[in-house]
Structure 1
Amino acid sequence: MFYIFLGVSLCRVIYVLLTNDGNVDIFDLLLLILSPALPVLASRSLSEKQRQKQTLESENQRLHLLAKERDRIAQALHDDLGQSFSLLALKAEVAQKLLKKDPLKAQLQIEQIADEARADLELVRQIVHDLKYETLAQVLYQANEKLSQAKIILIVENDDNVALWKQEVQQVVAAVINEAVTNAIRYSRANIFKVIFKEDGTNYHVTIRDNGIGFAAKQISFGLSGIKQRVTDLGGNTTFTTENGAVIILRLPKRKGGSDDAQNLSS
């Protein structure tokens, strides 16, 4: 459209110059010359609005995912520890009442309290251990911060249920995303970075892509090679291709006995 308007405008300018013996109104001439810029400005305005809309939608998705992860942790604390502490308090009250009436039963209650307290302590350690690992929600939030500084838009699709994916799977996918973000910022010359999550009855699927120069102009880094090995260790596979930019495709199996299998059976 730009070149069409430019050609028409230049033809018009030449025609006016040739047919008016050089007596051309300067304002008409400027209008004819600047008219090709109008569709360009309109196109840029529409493009910027679309980009802002995509950015806002992606940000809302990430905030929603972080909120779901927060709610999941809060629910786990309430269900696992809240009920257990309530039971411990009740048993402590019973033991206190039995101290004078039946010391043997009181001693049994105290032993049970000690056993359950040790089990709760182990549970707390496990929760703290789990919190040390970055979830996909956290990684995507941090990735958006890094990409925004490099003026790259992050778009995330189908991330509603990734917080329920197994921890070991989230860790590997998070490592791949971090490495891909680093490569995109350093080498890709892209302005869009997209992560697409999918899953079926047997596998998790993740596609990571940008719209940059792809892998043709740079070798797959040592970091990505190491990530490929980690995916293989989980029984999955990784594909690196160049299709209008760098594309990384992950397939990770849902192993039997995992939480996802239990959820699938229950559903």
Structure 2
Amino acid sequence: MKKFLEEEILFPKKIGWIPYFWLIFLIPVLSDLGTMPLKKQVIILFLLLLFLKAYREGYESNKWAIWYVIIQLIISVIYQFLGMTGLFIFTAWQIGFLSLRRDRFYLFLGVYYAFCFINIVSTTLWLVQGDAQSIGSLLIVLLFAIFSPLVSRSMNESIYRTTQLNRENKRLEALIRKEERERIARDLHDNLGQSFSIITLKTELAQKLLAKQPEKVSQELTEIAQISRNNLQLVRQIVNGLENRSIAKALLEEEKLLSAASIYLSTEGEEIAENWPIELQTIFASCIKEAFTNIIRHSKAQFVQCVFRQSNQYYELSIHDNGIGFLTIDPTSHGLSGMMARMKEKMGRST
């Protein structure tokens, strides 16, 4: 039963909830049935069920999609002659949301506009005896039907671009994590691997000397201790390297939080910052995190922009938002004071 519903009744999951929303506009059509003769009710209901089936199948974007669209349009014209309007709107928005190549989209659009022309002619002839109010309302419906496919197509392309951008961000984030793991592996192999091999060899040598030349064992143990201290220092350097955060990584992580708070992020000159020294990137990454946290908590903004600039040996990051802001800085705010302190350590300043 569930499989039957998914394959024959319900709309494809990839389309989302939009087709269900448009079904609301069938309410006026159904509300008029009570005032019609029984024979006309049966005909209209049969055509409506056929229309809904074609409407559902049309979202599959297969080789039969054009015929499902034509069936919808034919039924829409019949409904128009029966004095009922509005079905064209369903097909109009469906054409825009289908995943079609540009040439195929124009084919669908041409067929749709051909039926729209028939509908306009029939409506004009029917309204010769109609009142001005009816003419005005029907013209609005027709104008809406004419422009809806183009608006729907634009919305669909915008949704597609947003989806692609989110996928690219996820891929980029995974790539950054992979590169970080590879860097750690290289550091461990190149720096510690050789040192531990030397420690192993010297330990084996010390064991042999212990029986034959015990006076030389002390020297070997001293060298082993020195190598161990050097290795400890290398480990600390690697750990410190893990704490370094690039600006790109900070923007990736913080943009998720901004999106959750319905705040749009825009950047300018981000590619310039990719080549900045990693120590400076770590400081700027901390500043970005602190600034974005404050924006989310206090600014009530809908838009934030980060601008990166470089001139000679000067590096600049400007962060702007369209929120309410505040005139004074809370002296007890450790985040802002820490950000200023990190700037001063590198002979920088914050304003």
TM range (shorter): 0.5 to 0.7
Q: Quick one: which of 59, 62, 84 aligns to 2:195?
A: 84
Tell me, in whole angstroms, the C-alpha distance in 2 between the residues paired with 1:63 and 1:199: 29
User: Alpha-carbon deviation of 1:121?
Assistant: 2.5
Q: Matches of 2:179 and 2:142 in 1, distance apart?
A: 55
User: Does 2:277 match 1:165?
Assistant: yes
Asked if structure 1 preserves the Cα contact closer than 8 Å seen for 2:192 and 2:231, the reply is: yes
1:8 corresponds to: none
Contact 1:55 1:154 (C-alpha < 8 Å) held by counterparts:
no
Q: 1:69 to 1:233 in 2, by over 3 A?
A: same
Contact 1:65 1:160 in 2 (8 A): no
Distance, in Å, in 2 between the alignment partners of 1:170 and 1:32 is 54
Identity score, percent: 31
Measure the CA separation in 1 of the matches of 2:314 and 2:171: 26
Task: Tell me how far apart the structure 2 counterparts of residues 64 and 160 of structure 1 sit (CA, whole Å).
Answer: 19
Structure 2 residue 326 is matched with structure 1 residue 219: yes
Picking from 211, 219, 243, the partner of 1:108 is 219
Q: Is contact 1:228-1:237 (8 Å) kept?
A: yes
Task: Please state whether the residue corresponding to 1:60 is helix, strand or coil.
Answer: helix
Secondary structure at the counterpart of residue 129 of structure 2: coil
**How big is the alpha-carbon RMSD for the aligned residues of Structure 1 and Structure 2?**
4.0
- Identify the residue that residue 251 of structure 1 maps to in structure 2: none
Work out whether 1:235 is the aligned partner of 2:347.
yes
Q: Please tell me whether residue 71 in structure 1 is matched to residue 182 in structure 2.
A: yes
Aligned to 1:261: none
Q: Does structure 1 residue 62 correspond to structure 2 residue 173?
A: yes
Letter in 1 for 2:141: L
* TM-score, normalised with respect to structure 2: 0.49
**3-state SS of the aligned residue for 1:188?**
coil
Identify the match of residue 245 of structure 2 among 135, 139, 143.
Answer: 135
Q: Which amino acid aligns with 1:20?
A: V
Query: Could you tell me how far 1:88 is from its partner in structure 2?
Result: 0.5
Shift of 1:85: 0.7
Q: Compare CA radii of gyration and give the structure with the larger one.
A: 2
Deviation sequence 1:205-258 (CA, Å, 0-9, x none) = 54556xx525xx32367468533453244123446xxxxxxxxxxxxxxxxxxx
Distance in 2, matches of 1:62 and 1:159, equals 19
RCO comparison, higher one (Cα < 8 Å, 6+): 1
Amino acid of the structure 1 residue aligned with 2:181: R
Distance, in Å, in 1 between the alignment partners of 2:205 and 2:349 is 56
Please identify which structure carries the higher strand content. 1
Tell me, which stretches of 5 or more residues in structure 2 are unaligned? 1-119
Query: Map of 1:1-267 to 2, 5 A cutoff?
Result: 16=124, 20-22=128-130, 30-131=141-242, 133=243, 135-136=245-246, 139-152=250-263, 157-158=270-271, 161=274, 165-167=277-279, 169-186=280-297, 187-190=300-303, 202-206=313-317, 208=319, 213=322, 217-219=324-326, 222=329, 226=337, 227-228=339-340, 230-238=342-350
Structure 1 Cα separation of the partners of residues 128 and 220 of structure 2: 109
